[in-house]
Structure 1
Amino acid sequence: MKILDKYILKKYLSSLILILGLLLPIAIAINVSEKIDKFLRHDDLGIGEIIQDYYVNFIVIFGNTFLPLALFIAVIFFTSKLASNTEIIAIHSAKLSFTRFLKPYFVGATIVTLFALAMNHFVVPKSNKVFNEFERTYLKKKKYNQNLLLNVNLQLTDSTYIFIKQYHTERDMGYDFSFEKFEGNKLKQKLMASSIRWDKQDTLFKLSNYRRRTILASKDIIETGSNLDTLFDFSPDDLVNVDYKAKEMNSIELAKFINKSEKRGISNLNTYLVEFHKRTSLPVSSYILTFIAVALSSRKKRGGMGVNLAIGISLMFLYVFFLKIAEVLGAGAETNSLFMVWLPNLIFGALAIYLFFKNARN
């Protein structure tokens, strides 16, 4: 049966590449038509930079996004063709069970899953970083206050906290800064400054008009001054808690960021947790979507391939709908992000199991 396995596996992978090869040029053409006027506004923007920084990463990001849809359509397409050519009937006539018939599909799904895992966890975040930076620089209108953070609270350790009333990310400059150090429930030190500035060259903070109060057992020590260079256990990047940062960090960096933020007492990290869990759940869906597609298209129907494609595409869009709803709900502060991200896979996994046993009995 090795010849049959190789034949199906070859069809599986080649059909997937074909569908992706059809979807991506359409997406690029639509994007070019929407963005061409914005490209032309920048005299310093060359065609090489547009291709290298924007469209190469566009292909990586959206190719990864389209992968589940392309996989589902590809499996339905070539399996329906096998059924319409009565090739599957011949396979069953050779006493090959439905479970054995699924073996090359399982191998193909494993190849796609491993590839998608590597892309999701390491390659796509790097592409997102370059792609988003290009969009922020050339394509999106800059808002006046997008770089202004207000009332920033951060727990550095179990006993140290900082507060900044205003922080300008572009200038790395903050105002009304305070640092507090506790021992149990007792305040041991408080440092206040009218402004705080991050010095990238020396990798330290510069305080101006500061006042430091150290509380000892018998007395308080108060120190004031115009300027103070000091170190803190945070950097300006730790102050920014925005969605796009999660997409621009690879999974090792993202896991470290989540762990560090949890220790610092940041209350809602579900946006980051959703992104982290989704990088695994979406590739694993390759198995589920493959088995559903095979079960739907492995039997010859009166309507032929068109009926199978109509049912399959409807199910695919239903899966995408559930996925988006799960992401939105999972980002809420009171939800379990891990459960919500995996919920669409659990629902469609149950459907895949039902269809598997239904076909295995027939």
Structure 2
Amino acid sequence: MRILDKYILKKYLSSFALVLVLLIPIAIAIDVSEKVDRFLRHADLSVGEIIRDYYVNFVIIYGNTFMPLALFIAVIFFTSKLAGNTEIIAIHSAKISFTRFLKPYFIGATLVTLFSLFMNHFVVPSSNKIFEEFNRTYLKKKKINDTYLTNINLQLGPNDYIFLKNYRVENNTGYFFTYQKFDGIKLKYKLSSNNIKWKPNDSTFQLLTYTKRTILKDKDIIESGTKLDTTFNFTPKDLVNVDYMAKEMNSVKLNEFIKQSRERGIGNLNTYLVEFHKRTSLPISSYILTFIAVALAAKKRRGGMGVNLAIGISLMFIYVFFLKIAEVLGAGADTNSFFMVWLPNITFGGLAIYLYFKNAKN
């Protein structure tokens, strides 16, 4: 690696870290001003708990969210400074092409991308879980009871469904349980019970006060009893997953959940797929945003760094807006979630390629 590469790479990473460090305290200050009254409502909530369970995870979550913005601003900032000091002109005068000039930027973008991928897939989901639990316990007006689930419905396969009026997680007991099996749109079998309990020792369910109904062509067969031990293609963990947020599962668990749900014939999984694909698409945007920023800032402009920053921030706003729209549309049942999540990168990737060839010719 040449001295020039080390110099640019050092500027790349230090400027990125500086912008990120400047943005996060601003976000914390705004959040504290909005939440301080809610913190004070809980006499049992200590400052240590607020810092450990809320703001440590706040920094991880929002720091990861701010990464593309911080990177874009940082690259425009120090590249504009290089251009303003005529350093880039000197580099080109030394017969170094624009493509070769991009090498240290590519290395820096790779480092940021790898770090962001690890954070997105494994660290941020764990932080999200703790952060959301704190929110549900202390900050949200309507608390969510995740130990007592209500109105559960789960599709076990293309034609199999279960329904539960309520379920207690602590003792693995459900109430008013129904299992239905269809042939097309015709009901073929129905099993109802007032009470269902999971028996972990032998991985079976025990039904109390049950009724079985088998529907044939010319008659119905109805059986009833007080106790029945049976098995189903689900476990209590699957019932809890119904209420889990996709962003609270790491990518391994989220992928398993999506695969399992597909095997059961569940139709719309786009909310989970959007979250899964976004964890890769957002870090990859580091390359695209870096190349756009370099292409915009590599030329000395009348008006200096301010013009470059104005153009860059405007493009960043458009990118973030486009990203949010794509996420919302991608969660719809009739859309291709993978394409929608990657559409902002595809669009801005096209802009990056155009700007690259434009600068490479000069």
Confirm whether residue 117 of structure 1 aligns to residue 104 of structure 2.
no
Matches within 5 A, 1:128-167: 128-142=128-142, 149-150=150-151, 152-157=152-157, 160-164=160-164, 166-167=165-166
Provide the residue aligned with 1:47 in structure 2: 47
- For residues 278 and 287 of structure 2, what CA distance do their matches in structure 1 show? 15
Matches within 5 A, 1:335-354: 335-354=335-354
Distance apart, 1:243 and its partner CA: 8.1
Distance apart, 1:240 and its partner CA: 5.7
Which letter does structure 2 place at the counterpart of 1:324? K
- For residues 292 and 25 of structure 1, what CA distance do their matches in structure 2 show? 27
Which letter does structure 1 place at the counterpart of 2:276? F
- For residues 72 and 11 of structure 1, what CA distance do their matches in structure 2 show? 13
- For residues 59 and 10 of structure 2, what CA distance do their matches in structure 1 show? 23
- For residues 160 and 310 of structure 1, what CA distance do their matches in structure 2 show? 56
CA shift in 2, pair 1:118/1:143, >3 Å: closer
Which letter does structure 1 place at the counterpart of 2:166? Y
Provide the residue aligned with 1:287 in structure 2: 287
- For residues 243 and 343 of structure 1, what CA distance do their matches in structure 2 show? 29
Ranges in structure 2 where 5+ consecutive residues have no aligned partner: none
- For residues 220 and 323 of structure 2, what CA distance do their matches in structure 1 show? 57
Deviations 1:52-107 (A, max 9, x none): 11111100000000000000000000000111111111101101000000000000
Provide the residue aligned with 1:88 in structure 2: 88
Confirm whether residue 302 of structure 1 aligns to residue 316 of structure 2.
no
CA shift in 2, pair 1:186/1:39, >3 Å: closer
Query: Retained in 1: the 8 A contact 2:273–2:338?
Result: yes
- For residues 202 and 137 of structure 1, what CA distance do their matches in structure 2 show? 35
Query: Retained in 2: the 8 A contact 1:243–1:272?
Result: no
- For residues 163 and 295 of structure 2, what CA distance do their matches in structure 1 show? 58
- For residues 170 and 122 of structure 1, what CA distance do their matches in structure 2 show? 26
Confirm whether residue 127 of structure 1 aligns to residue 147 of structure 2.
no
Deviations 1:27-75 (A, max 9, x none): 0111111111111111221111111111111000000000000000000
CA shift in 2, pair 1:145/1:116, >3 Å: closer
Give the TM-score taking structure 2 as reference length: 0.90
Query: Retained in 2: the 8 A contact 1:154–1:265?
Result: no
Provide the residue aligned with 1:260 in structure 2: 260
CA shift in 2, pair 1:328/1:27, >3 Å: same
Query: Retained in 1: the 8 A contact 2:157–2:266?
Result: no
SS of 1:318's equivalent in the other structure is helix
Provide the residue aligned with 1:101 in structure 2: 101
Which letter does structure 1 place at the counterpart of 2:47? I
Distance apart, 1:142 and its partner CA: 1.8
- For residues 69 and 337 of structure 1, what CA distance do their matches in structure 2 show? 24
Bigger Cα displacement from structure 2, 6-15 vs 179-188:
179-188
Which letter does structure 1 place at the counterpart of 2:98? F
Deviations 1:261-295 (A, max 9, x none): 11112221100000000001000000000000000
CA shift in 2, pair 1:244/1:313, >3 Å: farther
Deviations 1:186-221 (A, max 9, x none): 9886421123355789875443311235789xx998
Distance apart, 1:116 and its partner CA: 0.5
SS of 1:320's equivalent in the other structure is helix
Provide the residue aligned with 2:32 in structure 1: 32
Query: Retained in 2: the 8 A contact 1:243–1:271?
Result: no
- For residues 124 and 240 of structure 2, what CA distance do their matches in structure 1 show? 21
Confirm whether residue 193 of structure 1 aligns to residue 197 of structure 2.
no
Distance apart, 1:112 and its partner CA: 0.5
Matches within 5 A, 1:315-334: 315-334=315-334
- For residues 308 and 270 of structure 1, what CA distance do their matches in structure 2 show? 37
Give the TM-score taking structure 1 as reference length: 0.90
- For residues 191 and 244 of structure 2, what CA distance do their matches in structure 1 show? 33
